[in-house]
Structure 1
Amino acid sequence: DSQFLFDQAVTEAKKQLGVERVVIYGFEPDLSGCIVAEAVDPGWPRALADRISDPCIPGKLLDEYRRGRVVPTSDIRATNYSAAHLQLLNRLQVKANLVVPIVAADNLLGLLVAHQCSGNRVWQDTEIQFLQQLATQVGLSLTGVSLAQARKAEAERAQQLNEIISKVRESLKVEEIYHAAVTGVREALKTDRVIVYLFDENWQGTIVAESVGSGWPKALGANIADPCFAEQYVE
């Protein structure tokens, strides 16, 4: 469970470093992110679940993080952080921080960040190495979790496919076969709609079967004419 790994990591890091707060910041595809785990001493502001969007993070820095760059800052007032980033750090009363990337399978997943809130702090090499090793272990563990989750999902899909095939084989009518197929596929893929679209001799066609979630428009029976379909897709 990734959340268990995150919670363990921030708790252990805060204990070993003697800081007021440690967080894990997880990246999203648009480079915004969210604090997904936090260990913080009583009396200090909490950051958990804060959403952070910093458009000023340069792509070069993200690539350097992916390759293992560490950023120790003894005094955040002496940095060139963006105004939005500084505003967040000030709200959290951060005076110094240590930022270490979490990388799994060569992908930058997040940052493990220690916050010193009671005053400035010069980070020692041993402290930096400790947080690096911890972040590396989190990354390796996440890779293991991801592989286990992938294997579980693959097994579930195989079982769902077998169930769909069994229902299709049990069906005697064409309509029942179509219904079993679209229903089973939509459940397996967790999509809003699955259809069966049949062509006529002119490569136009009709939607003859549909499974659609509640609240979405129905397409069953719709006639669709695409004059470019045969030219683009039919050999």
Structure 2
Amino acid sequence: MSERMQEAALAAAQLLGLVIAGIVLYQMGQTEVGSLVIGAALGHAAPRRARGGGGVPPVAPLLMLLGAIALGALSGCDGPPDAARRSVEVATVVLLDADRDAAVRYTAAAEAAIERSTTLAEYRAAMSPHDALEQALRVSQSTILAADAALDAWRAGGAERWPQLAACVVVALADLRSALAAVGLPTPPELDAVITTARSFALDACEGEA
């Protein structure tokens, strides 16, 4: 089996596991989290077109984070308020969807830029908003992963880092919202909701923790 086939099989197994976890959560009465996990898994299973050019933000960590969210819900962990946990859950799904949409938009923009550009400078100028979106996705992903780690620490009895990470979530997702608009992609209403919720916890300034 080729390396690409092995990666595809692993991804399929991860997605199937998430669907099963979502079904179990739904049957346990945790319908919101269950529906969130199932929807994200099935949505991510849609075919993705490869980006041309710049680096691709890896989505595997986000899928693993979604699995951790499902596991936490199944185990009934105490700790952070529901609003904090929910904001990380929703942000994870929003990033998965945005990454998929950005991949399609990046490919189309790159093809158009290649046809229209006569110099490398013209191509780079045409692709600048899309490269900025890729950067915003990478920063948002790392910030959400750090925020989830802060929630884990809160569950263990230490909530000290969460206010600062919440501030970083606000900054990163606000930048992502602007980057989406710059390439003509709509802002998911869930993104605005996460920013609002994170802002309510952001008692400290973001100082590059994420």
TM-score w.r.t. length of structure 2: 0.25
Of structures 1 and 2, the one scoring higher in RCO (CA 8 A, sep 6+) is: 2
Q: Is the helix fraction higher in 1 or 2?
A: 2
Larger Rg: 1
Q: Is the strand fraction higher in 1 or 2?
A: 1
TM-score w.r.t. length of structure 1: 0.23
